[in-house]
Structure 1
Amino acid sequence: MLLRAFGLTACVLLAGCSSTQNTGSAPNKSEVRSPSTIISSASADVWQQVNNDDVLRIDLPTGRVYVQLNPQLAPGHVDNIKKLAREGFYDGLNVYRFVESFVAQGGDQTGEKQPTQGSKGIAGEMFLTTESPLEITPINAVDGYADKTGFLNGFAVAQNSDGKKTWMTHCTGTFAMARGNEIDSGGTEFYITLAPQRYLDKNTTVFGRVLEGMEHAQRLLRTPVEGQPFNPISQVRVLSDIASEDNSAFTVFDTSSEDFKELIESRKNRPSEWFIDKPNHTDVCSVSIPTKRLN
């Protein structure tokens, strides 16, 4: 598998991408609220509840990681990993690769375990192509990896110039599928990015993001310890399937809302008096999507 068989330092950076310049001047900084104020004062309708049928709970020795899946941009991968979770494919496997500030990768390192419901290899979904442009909430800033970047239904995304090709970006906490050299060879080996890895965009299928528990992924063992299991996965479950034992529920900011657009501006030009230089710039991985736990 790519990410397992050889280092991703061999991956080629995306080249020749055009960029969209910031077309507006810096807003009146006195009118932009701080990120914390925007989030804390947001009305109830700005918060959207996440469908628990599209949330995975990954039980690790360090704690539970909750992942929101994205069926809009990668329906095949979402369907497949839910089948794998429901058949208990990951139970007793482990997060067998941890590279500091890069990825934590889990699944079946031996490649010998055979799924009964899901598939070991499915068609790659590196991007979604649509007849009409998908409307995103744009960053409106230069990006070295894509013509346009922004947000779509609670996920950080990028697009080509006409907006008819859309994909999720590799920001911190991205949930994606490892693969071998063949585009359609991924299916069971997931990874979580521990820091932005934008050069992987469109090279693997990204199909979710960590909602809660990123610290548990960050605290996994880096190398095996003698006499101790190496980052065992107790289980992976679809959250809606275990409601009787886990009533967790989450809401996320509506990324098409005016409040979120203001949050982007607040990240571009920090309103605090401490900031001497306010560059009127940010990037898609520097604007975290606010998330709240309901239960």
Structure 2
Amino acid sequence: MIKKSLAILTAGLLAAQLTPRAYAFNPAEQALQSPAEIMAAAEASDWRQVDSNNLMILTLESGAVYLEVNPLLAPKHVLRLRELAKSGFYKGLSMYRFVEGFVAQGGAGEQETDIAPLQQEFVSHTKQPLALDIKVNDNDGYAPRSGFINGFAVGQNEAGTQTWQLHCMGALGMARGNGVDSATSEFYVVIGHAPRYLDKNITVFGRVLAGMEHLQRLQRPGSKQTPFNPIIDLQFADQLAPEQRPKIRVMRTDSERFQALVAARKSRPEEWFVATPNYIDTCAMAVPSVIDD
């Protein structure tokens, strides 16, 4: 049984179109409130339930890490993780690589496997523009524009026909060798400052919703622990019995409430702030999540 608790994740934890809300308010007026006040006023329609098909649970010795995968932008990589998880491939392997402030990586490491390499999905190409739920920035140095789709921080070309997930803290990606189509099964999670220079160089296909602290507690290189950072299991929620499936809500990034939250994070209307640049880096804009008992 997976232990479930109630928690609202803040900026340290970073991220389908739903029916529009039946009521509306003015986000510009809400920006005069603090982020905490906006969150306190959130209603049920401001949230979406994470699909159990897309909820991945990485169980480590210290606890569970909950991640949401992103089939919209990287369906082949999501399918690969689903198939491997269902087969029990990761059970008993380890988080064998840990780089302080950068990445935690898990899988078979240097062990020989017969897993076929995947075709890269660095960027999703669409004939029609893929609409952002909200645009946060124009040209941040790495993307002509960036914002959110379905709770995931993304970058786009100016036409909106090329979309990729950003290497924000908490991003889930698939490690590869020198060949662009060489990824097989080794996954990683960004655990520090966003390494945006990796954008469009590696396939990113999900993000941490909760449990980042368990990745931060991993043994560092040189530890005498045996086995080293074992993976107890890696599963998808729909592979569990219904009563064991975690129930996690994510704030809808297409909601006016999230729009107001972005505006408040940019302007910081709280009395404490002296400098208010009216700007926020897209990776620094946390998408709130709630784990329900």
Cα deviation code 1:94-128 (max 9, x no counterpart) = 001000110000001123134xxxx4411100011
Query: Mapping of 1:93-104 within 5 angstroms?
Result: 93-104=93-104
> Closer, same or farther in 2 for the Cα pair 1:129/1:31, shift >3 Å?
closer
Distance 2:258 2:274 in 1: 24
Give yes or no for the alignment of 1:124 onto 2:120.
Answer: yes
Aligned match for 1:277, one of 251, 265, 275: 275
Q: Does the CA-based 8 Å contact 1:90-1:233 persist in structure 2?
A: yes
- Give the partner amino acid of 1:259: R
> 1:148 matched to which residue of 2?
145
Count, aligned residues: 265
Aligned match for 2:239, one of 214, 238, 241: 241
Moved over 6 A (4+): 27-30
Structure 1 residue ranges without an equivalent (≥5):
1-26
- Give the partner amino acid of 1:89: F
> 1:12 matched to which residue of 2?
none
Q: Does the CA-based 8 Å contact 1:141-1:282 persist in structure 2?
A: no
Query: Mapping of 1:47-196 within 5 angstroms?
Result: 47-114=47-114, 119-136=115-132, 137-195=134-192, 196=194
Q: Does the CA-based 8 Å contact 1:108-1:189 persist in structure 2?
A: yes
> 2:34 matched to which residue of 1?
34
Where 1:252 maps in the other structure, the secondary structure is strand
Distance 1:225 1:252 in 2: 36
- Give the partner amino acid of 1:267: R
> Closer, same or farther in 2 for the Cα pair 1:30/1:110, shift >3 Å?
closer
> Closer, same or farther in 2 for the Cα pair 1:166/1:228, shift >3 Å?
same
> Closer, same or farther in 2 for the Cα pair 1:235/1:270, shift >3 Å?
same
> Closer, same or farther in 2 for the Cα pair 1:111/1:185, shift >3 Å?
farther
Report the Cα offset of residue 234 of structure 1.
Answer: 1.1
Give yes or no for the alignment of 1:220 onto 2:218.
Answer: yes
What percent identity do the matched residue pairs reach?
45
- Give the partner amino acid of 1:160: N
Structure 2 residue ranges without an equivalent (≥5):
1-26
Where 1:292 maps in the other structure, the secondary structure is strand
> 1:291 matched to which residue of 2?
289
Report the Cα offset of residue 31 of structure 1.
Answer: 4.8
Distance 1:256 1:144 in 2: 24
Query: Mapping of 1:2-21 within 5 angstroms?
Result: none
> Closer, same or farther in 2 for the Cα pair 1:98/1:275, shift >3 Å?
same
